[in-house]
Structure 1
Amino acid sequence: MNSVVLIGRLTKDPEIRYIPTTGTPVAAFTLAIDRDYKNKDGSTTTDFIPVELMGKPAEFCANYITKGRPVAIQGSIRIEKYEKDDEKRTFTKVVGKNIQALDSKKGEKSEQGESPASFEAVDNDDVPF
């Protein structure tokens, strides 16, 4: 099984292109992910993972995802092999199937005029949970 879930921040705005024959959108970006341990000097190491999304998730990226936003990506790892200057090379990337923004844009309002992350607690005995 080839499945991966990553949580990190975009290093820059996604690059959007369209496949010429089908018009399918493709979004490409790099995700910065801190490792979960510290070095001897107390610093953390950051990995930079290339990610590519196609179709509706790519359209979502084009419209809502920007540099610095934390996101969760679910997809698979792909290893592409190619040859350059008579030398065989490999390139590893994540091909995402789903993307989810983990915060809301500052000042972003929902249709009701509230912040998408806000809610109001309900204290009602009629609620079954």
Structure 2
Amino acid sequence: MNKVVLMGRLTKDPELRYTSGNNTAVASFTLAVNRRATAKEGQPQADFINIVAWNKTAEFCQKYFTKGQQVALVGRIQTRTWDDNEGKRHYVTEVVADETYFADSKRGSEGGGGSAPRTYSESSASSSDGFYPMDEDSDELPF
């Protein structure tokens, strides 16, 4: 099974581009994910993980995610190789984001209480699992 769950802060705004062949949206960004600090290290260290999102998830990330924001995502690890013009082989390991989430608190985020969606995944648009999003600030229960 290849499944990754990460939470961290964006090191810069996501970059959105479109593939030349079929004009598919692809966003790339780097997530700084803190490691657990050990007694010897004292200070927490971070891993900088390259993330790629495709299609509507890519457009969502570019529209709503900004540098410094804390986000969470669910995806999979992917490795690629390619040869450059000089014949040198390059290896890349990245996470392909299938689901993306805001992880900052509403009070802590800029703009406080905007109307932006809180999550997005490709499957959520056509999901019929019986669950519906609800306003977290509401005191009313749906039943």
Corresponding position of 1:14: 14
Corresponding position of 2:89: 88
Q: Using the TM superposition, give the Cα deviation of residue 38 of structure 1 relative to its aligned residue in structure 2, in angstroms.
A: 3.1
* C-alpha distance after superposition, 1:20-60 (max 9, x if no partner): 22221110000000101236241111100000000111110
TM-score, length of structure 2 as denominator length: 0.72
1:30-109 matched pairs, under 5 angstroms:
30-38=30-38, 40-84=40-84, 85-103=86-104, 104=106, 105-107=109-111, 108-109=113-114
Conserved in 2, the CA contact under 8 Å of 1:38 and 1:45?
A: no
In structure 2, runs of 5+ residues without a counterpart are 117-134
Query: CA 1:120/1:98 → structure 2, altered by over 3 Å: closer, same or farther?
Result: closer
* C-alpha distance after superposition, 1:60-100 (max 9, x if no partner): 01110000111111111011122354443321100111111
Q: Which amino acid aligns with 2:114?
A: K
Q: Which amino acid aligns with 2:110?
A: K
Query: CA 1:128/1:86 → structure 2, altered by over 3 Å: closer, same or farther?
Result: closer
Aligned mates of 1:48, 1:19 — CA distance in 2: 25
TM-score, length of structure 1 as denominator length: 0.79
Between structure 1 and structure 2, the one with the greater Rg is: 1
Q: Which amino acid aligns with 2:96?
A: V
Aligned residues: 121
SS of the aligned residue for 2:48 comes to: strand
In structure 1, runs of 5+ residues without a counterpart are 112-116
Query: CA 1:67/1:96 → structure 2, altered by over 3 Å: closer, same or farther?
Result: same
Percent of aligned pairs with the same amino acid: 41
SS of the aligned residue for 1:98 comes to: strand
What's the RMSD between the two structures over aligned residues?
2.6
Aligned mates of 2:142, 2:98 — CA distance in 1: 35
Corresponding position of 1:119: 137
